[in-house]
Amino acid sequence: MKKIISLLCLLVVVTTYSQQKKKKNAKLSFEVDGVCVMCKKRIEKAALNTKGVKFANWNVDTHQLMVIIDERKTDKKKVCQSVANVGHDSKEIKATQEVYDNLHGCCKYRDEEVKEDHKKKQKS
């Protein structure tokens, strides 16, 4: 009886551990606000400067940031915080007004006029 209980406990521990194992190359994709190529460079640089981020690509048209991370070193929240620290919002974390105000004039993605201006430039 003791052997059966010990075996069941071991099975539960092994199963739990294997489900919680963090991936070395986890792919994440989430939306980050921005409007131009300058934003792209800033967002990708901030993501890549986050410890554990191996790859970052932000799409100007879809606003999707795709990253490959080592989950043993970082997580989505840390990447979002790094991006917010340089002035760009995600659904998880918003950039402070002070940091946002320091963005270049053409990167003010919260301003409707700037967004419209970029849309016009993309069409032509």
Tens digits of residue pLDDT in 21-31: 888 899 999 99
Beta-sheet pairing, 64-69 with 53-58: antiparallel
In this prediction, residue 11 carries a pLDDT of 65
Confidence of residue 114 (pLDDT cuts 50, 70, 90): confident
Collapsing DSSP to helix, strand or coil, 66 comes out as strand
Confidence of residue 13 (pLDDT cuts 50, 70, 90): low
Q: How open is the CA angle 106-56-88, to the nearest 5 degrees? A: 35
Choose between 8 and 108: higher pLDDT: 108
Q: Which domains does the chain have, with CATH numbers?
A: 23-117 (3.30.70.100)
Q: Say yes or no to pLDDT of 122 above 80.
A: no
Q: Say yes or no to pLDDT of 41 above 70.
A: yes
